[in-house]
Amino acid sequence: MSTPSAQPAIAAEGLARRFGAVEAVRDVSMSVARGEIFGLVGPDGAGKTTVMRMLAGVLRPDAGTIALDGIDVVGAPERAKAVLSYMPQRFGLYEDLRVDENIFFYGELFEVPRAQFRQRSTELLEAAGLAPFRRRLAGQLSGGMKQKLGLVCALIHTPRVLLLDEPTTGVDPVSRRDFWAILYRLREQGVTIVMSTAYMDEAERCSRLALLHEGQVRRCDTPQRLKDIVRGSLLSVAGGDPRSNGAALADAPGVAGVLLMGDRVHVRVDEAARRKDELAARLDERGLAHAPVVPVEPGIEDVFVALVGATV
Ligand SMILES: Nc1ncnc2c1ncn2[C@@H]1O[C@H](COP(=O)(O)OP(=O)(O)OP(=O)(O)O)[C@@H](O)[C@H]1O
Ligand SMILES: [Mg+2]
């Protein structure tokens, strides 16, 4: 018999779910330790929301099991709801209610005792930078503020497990920093967090990541170890026209893949040190403008492309 602290906060085994002909999730397993910030990363339609909804007990899997703090989510979703909080991708705020009224509504829904409610809502509004806007109608908040209000509402009842589906999409960088400060504080308090994100800088802050593609977990590890998969094999070419440069390098000897990254191209090669000058020479031969070709530290997006050939 394992001790309660050794037990993972979330243990999912063999999750599967289809919608008609679409196999949204296939054989997904994951084990998340208490106090982790676990990231689900993958392109649109990869199955992130479907996994989240199953973990939250709002969507029944076709197959598989989920134990959340030892509770059988599939068999007893109502019991699981007492210990978790789920912030859906489109969180249900009441636009014609004020900020504080929305929080009050969720406090009532989760039966938070009054004294605790007052203290917690004050703390959370402060942390989210929403205190000055508490009397504003939710419908009149900016997109980023709405997301933060969603998080405040999701946290009003001190969950042990927090499930956040793309909580910062559309949120400005300053607000995202506030958001992360809240998440780190929760982690210190032992809250386990699973979040999906489309932002790679955010993925890097997670303790571990599951790379999801076409409904399957392709890799699950720390951001550092995931990046080791492509370390030493990545070159960056800035300057000139990235698209033309990428096209010119795609079929060069030793090149395994090319990824456009805004104003530059990342080129995956067999050996960065050896191919660096060759690639520069090839661009020069074709009269293509470019900055020096330099080795670069991989990001999660590079890992994703190397593993499945898809961009996140
Ligand atoms: N209720 C539903 N009915 C039919 N198909 C669905 C439903 N929910 C999801 N799907 C399909 O399942 C697949 C996975 O969708 P899901 O929403 O889980 O992806 P996602 O990774 O969250 O994508 P996004 O990044 O766009 O939010 C998609 O092909 C989607 O169209
Ligand atoms: Mg989604």
Residue pair 194/161 in contact (Cβ under 8 Å)? The answer is: yes
pLDDT confidence bin for 139, thresholds 50/70/90: very high
Q: What is the pLDDT of residue 63?
A: 98
Mutation pick for ligand 1 pocket among 15, 18, 22, 28 (CB with most ligand atoms within 8 Å) = 22
pLDDT confidence bin for 5, thresholds 50/70/90: low
φ, ψ at 300 (rounded to 5°)? -60, -35
**Average of per-residue pLDDT values in the chain:** 92
pLDDT confidence bin for 151, thresholds 50/70/90: confident
pLDDT confidence bin for 2, thresholds 50/70/90: very low
Please tell me the distance from the alpha carbon of residue 163 to that of residue 145, in angstroms, as a whole number.
19
Please tell me the distance from the alpha carbon of residue 64 to that of residue 207, in angstroms, as a whole number.
25
pLDDT in tens, 40-89: 999 899 999 999 999 999 999 999 999 999 999 999 999 998 899 999 98
Q: What is the pLDDT of residue 1?
A: 45
The whole-number average pLDDT for the span 267-271 is: 94
Please name the fold of domain 232-296.
Answer: Alpha-Beta Plaits (3.30.70)
Q: Which residues surround ligand 2, an ion (CB under 5 A)?
A: 48-49, 89
Ligand 2 mean position to 253 CA, how many Å? 38
Ligand 1 mean position to 23 CA, how many Å? 10
Burial classification of residue 149, based on how many CB atoms lie within 10 Å of its CB (0-12 exposed, 13-18 middle, 19 or more buried): buried
pLDDT at 166 over 80: yes
Please tell me the distance from the alpha carbon of residue 186 to that of residue 93, in angstroms, as a whole number.
22
Please tell me the distance from the alpha carbon of residue 291 to that of residue 121, in angstroms, as a whole number.
52
Q: Is 42 in the pocket of ligand 1 (CB under 6 A)?
A: yes
Q: Is 19 in the pocket of ligand 1 (CB under 6 A)?
A: yes
Does this chain's domain 10-226 share its CATH topology with 232-296?
no
Alpha helix positions (H), 189-241: 200-203, 223-228
Q: Is 47 in the pocket of ligand 1 (CB under 6 A)?
A: yes
State which CATH number among 3.30.70.2080, 3.40.50.720, 3.40.50.300, 3.90.1480.20 fits the domain covering 10-226.
3.40.50.300
Identify the residue whose tokens are 């208490």: 34
Please tell me the distance from the alpha carbon of residue 5 to that of residue 25, in angstroms, as a whole number.
29
pLDDT in tens, 79-134: 998 899 999 988 788 999 999 999 999 999 888 999 999 999 998 999 888 999 99
Q: Which residue puts its alpha carbon closest to atom 13 of ligand 1?
A: 24
